[in-house]
Amino acid sequence: MASNAAVPFWRAAGMTYITYSNICANLVRNCLKEPYKTEALTREKVHFAVSKWVDSKPQKSTIRSDTEEE
Residue 59 host element (H or E): strand 57-65
**Interatomic CA distance for residues 70 and 68, integer angstroms:** 6
- Chain center to CA of 50: 17
Which residue in 18, 57, 25 sits closest to 41, CA to CA? Answer: 25
Binned at pLDDT 50, 70 and 90, residue 34 comes out as very high
**Interatomic CA distance for residues 70 and 67, integer angstroms:** 6
Task: Return the higher-pLDDT residue of 33 and 44.
Answer: 33
pTM for the whole structure: 0.53
35-68 pLDDT, tens digit per residue, is 989 888 887 777 778 888 888 888 888 877 766 5
